[in-house]
Chains A and B, each alone.
Chain A
């Protein structure tokens, strides 16, 4: 399971994003201060208001008909880079000897193809992650993580 706790992010994912709560798949249906409104993905109809510290954005590859959390994360990074996300984004993860990077492709504000690289040079994100989604999660935390 690849996920990023919402409490570690300074930008919240959008309504409809896949989430993990209590090791189960949920969907974010809304947010209110430090509480997240989530609905179960098992079809049971359960809804919960839970503290933000218990919920994580799910970046695992979706195995059922769920929105891909990696696309959500890549869109969050693209917005951070002020790219135009209205026509979608694509992403690619790479790793060096000790560090990892993610390249986001979308549009610039005028609408021309544009790309952004995270972390921005000369910053470095050290990580042992090898799987692309794990690298994306590490870079998301580095780029949008709350400084404690």
Chain B
């Protein structure tokens, strides 16, 4: 899988991931955790730096790939989608993604068994995390 397909730059989202979310620099592949999100800039604690640094939102992406020893960004994304669908995320969420007739579809289920299906854009991706990323952008994208 192209791991950049499973990453969403923060300038495309109108809802910010919570503090502690795994992030990646799409240009360099540098990894870190999100500290604070502001209107234009965010603060990130990069793995190779011992203090927070400012970065432009377009230069920081929520990382949906699996990384050893850190919070799974896909769980973060699924939780954001669940919150947008007004599901109860206090008992966790699970998710499924598949491509049907060329379109991405994600289904989120909360801890009470309630679920919400979300249709995404037409895509050539088949990897579940890339599909989740596409649906996240389609659902929470910034409308200009």
Q: How many residues of B contact A (CB 8 A)?
A: 39
Q: How many residues of A contact B (CB 8 A)?
A: 38
Q: Chain B's nearest CB lies how many Å from the CB of A92?
A: 6
User: Is the pair B128, A87 in contact by a Cβ cutoff of 8 Å?
Assistant: yes
User: Is the pair B45, A47 in contact by a Cβ cutoff of 8 Å?
Assistant: yes
Q: Is A55 an interface residue (CB 8 A)?
A: no
Main secondary structure of the interface of A (DSSP, over half): mixed
Q: Which residues of B contact A82 (CB under 8 A)?
A: none
Question: Total A-B pairs in contact (CB under 8 Å)?
Answer: 111
Q: Which residues of B contact A65 (CB under 8 A)?
A: 16-19, 37
Residue of A nearest to B110 (CB): A90
Tell me which of B91-99, B118-126, B136-144 binds A. B91-99
Q: Is A71 an interface residue (CB 8 A)?
A: yes
B interface residues (Cβ-Cβ under 8 A, vs A): 16-22, 33, 35-37, 43, 45, 47, 50-52, 66, 69-72, 74-76, 78-79, 89-96, 109-111, 128
Q: Which residues of A contact B78 (CB under 8 A)?
A: 87-88
Q: Is A57 an interface residue (CB 8 A)?
A: no
